[in-house]
Structure 1
Amino acid sequence: MKAFVFPGQGSQYCGMGRDIYDTFPAAKALMEQANDILGYRITDIMFLGSEEELRQTMHTQPAIFLHSMAAASQLNAEGVAMTAGHSLGEYSALCFAGAISFEDAVKIVAERGRLMQQAGTEKPGTMAAIIGMQDSALDALLAEAGAEGIVQAANFNSPGQIVISGDIAAVKKAVELAPAHGARMAKELVVSGAFHSPLMKPAEEKLAAALEAVDIKNATIPVCMNAVARTVTDAAEIRKNLVLQLTSSVLWTQSIEEMTTAGITRFVEVGPQKVLQGLIKRISKGAELEGKDTAADIQGA
């Protein structure tokens, strides 16, 4: 069985989506629709913007979402048994699965990016990657570093790759202590906030209010959601999990394991770059992997 998976923040690159826009008239129309909805040309930032401009969360999130949906619009959805997205990518998955309309998804993704950037300014925090440490050692590390402030697991990306998030002092302390807890490497990330931690609480509350205005329907394809690592189709549960996602850990490893157990053997990453393919390769040994990032990828479908 086949699943489509959609990337999240960090997969952006300068010029992203330009060849899709130029090659497929329907994808171009979709991208122009997004420009109209947003009231500014996100495509100009995607195609011509600097790396620094594209890295701003308020731009990154709608850019990645739009790239993913433009690519998805040109793919045959027949036979897609399940879908999932990493953090921001969950909105692409839900839009693809018919739970959120494209127009509403563009609006809510842009608002999510704005709120997360704002929360990162109001409550400064940071994130770090912890490589080569057993998940079982994480609690002890976080407990020790937690003496300096809030710190928690933000992403369980793959076995041996965890991202932590929280107060700057606490995350820095965890990076310092990680080797003693068995980590091969620990490195602070260049981010604009402590995503997937309690420091995103102000954004979570405002996002919950914004989501109330969004018509969320039952998904036509099961979506394995980040916060619970199980498939969901019910509209009310989708809404609840989207709110929860901002301050909860992204259970990506557990989600891919759940999808594999359910019979998924082929994962197609739809959107910029190959980050998820690399993670899935380490989670689900033997899974068939492919990516649909460029027009050439799509034409080779």
Structure 2
Amino acid sequence: MTLAILCSGQGRQHLGMFALTGEAPQAASLFAQAARLLGGRDPREMVATETPDNLHRNRVGQILAAVQALAAMTVLRDAMPARLIVAGYSVGEVAAWGVAGVVEADVILDLVARRAEAMDAASPAGDGLLFVRGLSRTLIDGLCTRFGTSVAIVNPGDAFVIGGARTALEALAGEARGLNAARVVDVPVEVASHTARLASASVRFRADLEAVPVRRLPVAGIRLLSGIDGAAVVDARSGLDKLAAQISQTVQWDACLQACVEAGATAFLELGPGPALKEMAASAFPESPARCLDDFRTIEGARAWLGRLRSDAGEP
């Protein structure tokens, strides 16, 4: 069988996000490194004690999301099927390079911190993201032109994340509700990710990526996808170019999910935090089982589910 591993972006940090990974000895070094990047604050303690506003600070949120994906894969790696497709949503795409085994996990965490710092340095004050579902792309493009905003992420089912100045996003939200959008909500992110407003951050992050040691591609049994087009990463240099460009270009998440299925994925597992990617996959491809780590009460439950998938497919 082929399993699609989905690495979450920031925005869904929550109290129990490390419930299944926080005590795993295999992940101890990752949490220790994350703590160093967070000024000595242990991420497992942070999610239990910090206010939601602090957990959603751009740099903090990116590090928390990345360490969760990396820790989850570290704990579950030996339970995974032989063939994997790995895709990441926003900062999750950086984590995906570690989950896929293309770049070492400790290097990934350092890169995530640098990525967030580059974005914060490039971002105008008062920027953010807005989620709108239920309007056509034509209507969304028209609203973006009218209010000086940009489509940041294209999700399945006429669902879009829009980036720009908060004042512009508030005006756009009112218009979208007037057009009977099914859902309009603020995204708890402080920067206009994946828009041209962060062009200088892409340049800075590409320089940071230049010296990164990358395993020879492709890795046997693993297909890593690029977020801006859903294409498989088969060359390190072009893949890193896209990874940096993703900061200031639209993420085509609908194309990533479609690419997973076209490449043979028969099930999806979101590493978290949260269930957003699982829910999108389940809605777009209801015939394929989709779970997220938050669905399980124990890591043994997650391993058992993976075991059943392998058994049903005739894998040992």
* C-alpha separation in 1, matches of 2:146 and 2:36: 49
- C-alpha distance in 2, partners of 1:258/1:136? 23
Aligned to 1:245: 246
> Which consecutive unaligned segments of at least 5 residues does structure 2 have?
304-316
Report the Cα distance in structure 1 between the residues aligned to 2:294 and 2:283, rounded to whole angstroms. Answer: 21
TM-score normalised over the length of structure 2: 0.84
Change (3 A) 1:184 1:116: same
Q: In the TM superposition, what is the alpha-carbon distance from 1:137 to its structure 2 partner? A: 3.0
Counterpart of 1:154, as a letter, is: A
Deviation, 1:69, is 1.1
AA in 2 matched with 1:74: V
Q: Could you tell me whether the CA contact under 8 Å between 1:98 and 1:219 is conserved in 2?
A: no
Matched, 1:104 2:107: yes
Aligned AA for 2:41? R
Match of 1:116 in 2: 119
The offset of 1:136, in angstroms, is 3.8
Deviation of 1:187 after TM superposition, in Å, equals 3.6
Q: Tell me if structure 2 keeps the 8 A contact 1:224–1:232.
A: yes
How many residues are matched?
A: 295
- Cα deviations across residues 183-207 of structure 1 (Å, max 9, x unaligned)? 3343443431211111112322221
CA-to-aligned-CA distance 1:231-290 (integer Å, 9 cap, x gap): 213211211111110011111111101211222120011132211111112222312111
1:169/1:198 Cα in 2 relative to 1: closer, same or farther (>3 Å)?
Answer: same
Contact 1:267 1:289 in 2 (8 A): yes
Partners of 2:101 and 2:122 lie apart in 1 by: 29
Secondary structure of the structure 2 residue equivalent to 1:73: helix
2-structure distance, mates of 1:116, 1:191: 12
CA–CA separation in structure 2 for the residues paired with 1:168 and 1:48: 28
Residue 248 of structure 1 aligns to a residue whose secondary structure is: coil
Opposite residue 114 of structure 1, the aligned amino acid is E
Contact map agreement 1:166 1:198 (CA 8 A) in 2: no
Distance 1:219 1:103 in 2: 21
1:135 aligns with 2:137: yes
Residue 94 of structure 1 pairs with residue 61 of structure 2: no
- Per mean C-alpha deviation after superposition, the further-off stretch among 196-205 and 183-192 is 183-192
Residues 20 and 298 in structure 2, CA contact (< 8 A), matched pair in contact too: no
8 Å contact 2:30–2:106 — kept in the other structure? no
Relative distance call for 1:189 and 1:8 in structure 2 (3 A) is closer
SS in 1 for 2:54: helix
C-alpha distance in 2 between matches for 1:270 and 1:234: 25
Change (3 A) 1:118 1:47: farther
Identify the range of structure 1 (167-176 vs 34-43) with the bigger mean alpha-carbon deviation: 34-43
| Structure 1: tracts of 5 or more residues without a match | none
Structure 2 match to 1:50: 51
Give the counterpart letter for 1:14 in structure 2.
Answer: L
Query: Which residue of structure 1 lines up, in the alignment, with residue 199 of structure 2?
Result: 201
Distance change (3 Å), C-alpha of 1:188 and 1:33: closer
Contact 1:268 1:292 in 2 (8 A): yes
CA contact (8 A) 2:152 2:162 kept: yes
Residue 85 of structure 2 aligns with an amino acid whose one-letter code is M
> Which residue of structure 1 aligns with residue 265 of structure 2?
264
Measured in 1, the distance between the counterparts of 2:273 and 2:254 equals: 20
CA contact (8 A) 1:123 1:199 kept: no
Task: Name the aligned partner's letter for residue 128 of structure 1.
Answer: L
Change in 2 beyond 3 A, CA 1:105/1:219: farther
Alpha-carbon distance in 2 for matches of 1:158, 1:71? 25
Distance 1:39 1:159 in 2: 40
SS at match of 1:228: coil
Q: How does 1:146-225 map to 2 (within 5 A)?
A: 149=148, 151-179=149-177, 183-217=181-215, 218-220=217-219, 221-225=222-226
Distance 1:213 1:48, change over 3 A: farther
Q: CA 1:36–1:219 in structure 2 vs 1: closer, same or farther (change >3 Å)?
A: farther
3-state secondary structure, aligned to 1:17: coil
Is residue 228 of structure 2 the alignment partner of residue 227 of structure 1?
yes
Q: Using the alignment, how far apart are the partners of 1:173 and 1:47 within structure 2? A: 34
Separation of aligned partners in 1, 2:37 and 2:166: 36
CA distance in 1, matches of 2:34, 2:189: 25
